[in-house]
Amino acid sequence: MELGSETELTQEITRLRAELARRERDAADNELQLERYAADLRETFKEERARSQQLARSYTATVRALSNAVEARDAYTSKHAERVAAYGFEIARALGIPRPQAPELEFGFLLHDIGKLAVPDAILYKPSELTREERAVMAKHPEFGYQILSEIEFLAEAALVVRHHHERWDGTGYPDGLAGEEIPVPARVFAVADVLDALTTDRPYRPASALSEAREMISAQAGAHFDPRVVDAFNSIDDDTIKRIGADIR
């Protein structure tokens, strides 16, 4: 545009300055609005995180209540599930299992015997040896447990531990006869933690074994009952850590 006079030039400069000032105000307003959005997002994130933490605590409390209900039926296995969970965490850490899988481990370990709630008391508490038919019913408890948990969304992964906690590395376990890598990793970790606790606690039919003996018996079953890598991870944990867990959870 050609400017015909000094007056027109002055007017154009004034217009441009006004336009620049308007754009600066708009930019300042936009920046303020963005800061408000960011503050709102931070507040929303904090609220969601608090709700998530509260929900996680509720889930854990629910699982522990269910676990206590199972263990209340058998005084001889009191705190068994808690110890197994604690041993399992240590083994999982030694095995390098990422932390996001921790709830799956804890919930599955705590609830591994929930299927026994569906086993008749006459079988569960029978003082004499079970018949073949009664053993068959007892061996169904992993499937009963899986049926109880699999429809609960936040326990869906834990339900796999419950279903497969009696599988064996060599494929001779139950209920599905899975072998080797077919068995979910958490269930393989559970198998070692479960036997460790069973061996190192007193039972009605035998006294507790020393930790050194338990290590020998578990190591002897690497490649048969247990995943050899899980056994190696277990054996990498020092005795003091294992003994501390056993002493703290009684």
Amino acid residing at 225? H
Report the C-alpha gap between 183 and 199 in whole angstroms. Answer: 23
Quick check: helix, strand or coil at residue 125? Answer: coil
Report the C-alpha gap between 170 and 183 in whole angstroms. Answer: 10
**Owner of token pair 């709630």:** 117
Q: In this structure, what token pair is assigned to residue 11?
A: 């007017």
The DSSP H or E segment spanning 231 is helix 228-235
Pick the catalytic residue from 46, 116, 126, 243. 116
Q: What is the DSSP letter of 169?
A: T
- Asked whether the beta carbons of 229 and 200 are under 8 A apart, the reply is no
**Owner of token pair 């209540």:** 65
Quick check: helix, strand or coil at residue 172? Answer: coil
Report the C-alpha gap between 97 and 222 in whole angstroms. Answer: 19
Any catalytic annotation for residue 116?
A: yes
Known catalytic residues are: 116
